[in-house]
């Protein structure tokens, strides 16, 4: 028989890590709230502080990664709970064009930049895929904190992020295929695309219809008086399934939230999910900071490359997204454009897959992580300014 893993001694270490990460995130939040700046930046910087860049009190570990993943899962589950399918349909056209333009243009820009820098095609494809990523979590959290979580630009960004993630799945499959076998299996990628589109449509349409027809379905089990656990089980199941077919887990969580929102007493579910939404997401934000290793960026060449790639990453996402959302008016289009720029954890994941495949070297990895974090740090500040403009809140 297998013995359980070493028991009580590392319990203390893991509980200490969780304690430190939550404490650092909330202290960062506290400081940033007091100086009137975006709270999630405070949480990320709390992670930078205790991570390898400064104090080295905690380092990247599997458990912290899982908590970070659950953080973005519960964040998007919460966003889904506040979203109706009909509202998503209302922004469908803009969302699709923003998502497509916001994935294709940065991919081509990254690919071109990689080739221009003299990298191999395989490496350049990874750089393109990293630039194509969008971190729906960062923008959604910023929108919620600014009180416009349900506004038209917020829903457009969210819908675009779903489209974008499906395209990113394809780009990443292409990148991995090229790195691994030196070729691309079109049939396999077509199948992945079909499965992803089928999953999203089936859950979004079938799931919401089912709950509309049987709004007390989540109340049926006797194991709890409230529908919280059935809803959470659905969320974890769809998140796991989404991750299993190559999408981001947060897409499944978002869809689960949207389905559950159709249940009988949605407001009581929101009340009950709120503590999970308070507990997990700080791990997600702080973990982004913990993944940063400033030491690896401390030379002139890397810094120059970081600056160039970051400017390219912002421009290649902002401009096409802005133009595609132009029909919403200049101000909302600008909010959408900026809202699409954070790469967050998705850019980091793409880079680490490339590193594992041996086509992204240490310097480029550090640069992509730095770019992901910089775009993530910039967006909330700009969004605050755009949204608090004299014109009044958008949406």
Considering only residues 235 to 264 of the shown chain, the ones binding a second copy according to CB under 8 A are 236-237, 239-240, 243-244, 246, 248-249
Distance, in Å, from the CA atom of 88 to the CA atom of 262, rounded to the nearest integer, reads 14
Q: Is the dihedral of CA 328, 90, 341, 145 positive or negative?
A: positive
From the list 38, 116, 40, the residue with the least C-alpha distance to 71 is 40
Candidate segments 79-87, 95-103, 186-194, 233-241, binder of a second copy by CB under 8 A: 233-241
- Whichever of 105 and 234 has its CB closer to a second copy, that residue is 234
Only one residue has tokens 């403009």, namely 389
Alpha carbon 186 to chain centroid distance?
A: 27
Beta carbon nearer to a second copy, 183 or 295: 295
Closest distance of CB 29 from a second copy, Å: 4
Q: What spatial distance separates the first Cα and last Cα of the chain, rounded to whole Å?
A: 60
Give the one residue of 37, 57, 65, 266 binding a second copy; rule: CB under 8 A: 65
* Interior angle at CA 352, CA 347 and CA 355, nearest 5: 130
Residue closer to a second copy by CB (options 4, 118) is 4
Mark 265-304 with x for binding to a second copy (rule: CB under 8 A) and - for no binding.
Answer: -------xxxxx-xx-----------x-x-xx--------
Interface with a second copy, residue 221, by CB under 8 A: yes
What's the min distance (Å) between Cβ of 80 and a second copy?
Answer: 16
> What span, in angstroms and rounded, lies between the C-alpha atoms of 143 and 150?
8
78, 273 contact by CB (below 8 A)? yes
Among 41, 171, 314, 348, which residue interacts with a second copy (rule: CB under 8 A)? 348
Instruction: Give 289-317 as a DSSP string.
Output: HHH--GGGG-SHHHHHHHHHHHHHHHHHH
Identify residues 91-150 at the interface with a second copy (CB under 8 A). Answer: none
Least distance (Å) from a second copy to the CB of residue 162?
17
Which of 120, 224, 268, 389 is the binder for a second copy (CB under 8 A)?
Answer: 224
> Tokens in use for 130?
């990293």
Measured from the CB atom, the residue of 127 and 333 that comes closer to a second copy is: 127
CB nearer a second copy, residue 121 or residue 226: 226
Q: Which stretch binds a second copy (CB under 8 A): 10-18, 146-154, 184-192, 196-204?
A: 10-18
CA atoms within 13 A on the CB side of 369: 25
Per CB under 8 A, contacts with a second copy among 32-61 are: 33-34, 39, 52, 59-61
For 359, list phi and psi in degrees, rounded to 5.
-110, -5
Chosen residue from 198, 356, 388, 389 binding a second copy by CB under 8 A: 356
Q: Do residues 387 and 335 make contact, with C-beta atoms less than 8 angstroms apart?
A: yes
């Amino acid at each position: 028989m297998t013995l359980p893993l070493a028991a009580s001694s590392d319990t203390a270490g893991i509980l200490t890590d969780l304690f430190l990460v939550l404490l650092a995130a909330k202290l960062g939040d506290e400081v940033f709230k007091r100086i009137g700046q975006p709270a999630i930046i405070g949480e990320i910087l709390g992670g930078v502080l205790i991570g390898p860049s400064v104090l080295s009190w905690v380092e990247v570990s599997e458990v912290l990664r899982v908590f970070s993943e659950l953080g973005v899962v519960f964040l998007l589950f919460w966003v889904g709970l506040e979203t109706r399918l009909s509202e998503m349909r209302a922004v469908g056209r803009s969302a699709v064009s923003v998502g497509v333009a916001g994935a294709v243009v940065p991919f081509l820009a990254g690919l071109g930049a990689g080739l221009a820098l003299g990298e191999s095609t395989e490496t350049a494809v990874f750089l393109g895929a990293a630039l194509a990523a969008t971190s729906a979590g960062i923008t959604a959290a910023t929108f919620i904190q600014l009180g416009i979580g349900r506004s038209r630009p917020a829903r457009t960004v969210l819908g675009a992020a779903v489209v974008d993630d499906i395209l990113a799945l394809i780009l990443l499959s292409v990148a991995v295929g090229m790195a691994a076998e030196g070729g691309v299996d079109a049939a396999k990628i077509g199948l992945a695309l079909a499965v992803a589109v089928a999953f999203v449509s089936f859950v979004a349409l079938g799931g919401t219809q089912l709950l509309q027809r049987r709004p007390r379905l989540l109340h049926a089990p006797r194991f709890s008086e409230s529908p919280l656990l059935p809803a959470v089980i659905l969320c974890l199941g769809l998140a796991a399934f989404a991750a299993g077919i190559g999408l981001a887990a947060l897409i499944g969580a978002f869809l689960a939230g949207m389905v559950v929102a159709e249940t009988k007493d949605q407001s009581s579910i929101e009340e009950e999910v709120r503590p999970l939404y308070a507990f997990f997401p700080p791990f997600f934000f702080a973990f982004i900071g913990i993944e940063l290793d400033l030491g690896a960026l401390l030379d002139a060449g890397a810094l120059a490359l970081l600056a160039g790639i970051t400017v390219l990453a912002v421009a290649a996402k902002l401009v096409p997204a802005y133009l595609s959302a132009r029909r919403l008016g200049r101000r909302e289009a600008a909010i959408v454009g900026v809202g699409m720029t954070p790469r967050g954890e998705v850019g980091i994941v793409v880079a680490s897959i490339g590193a594992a495949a041996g086509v992204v070297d240490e310097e480029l990895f550090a640069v992509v992580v730095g770019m992901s974090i910089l775009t993530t740090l910039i967006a909330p500040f700009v969004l605050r300014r755009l949204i608090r403009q004299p014109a009044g809140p958008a949406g």
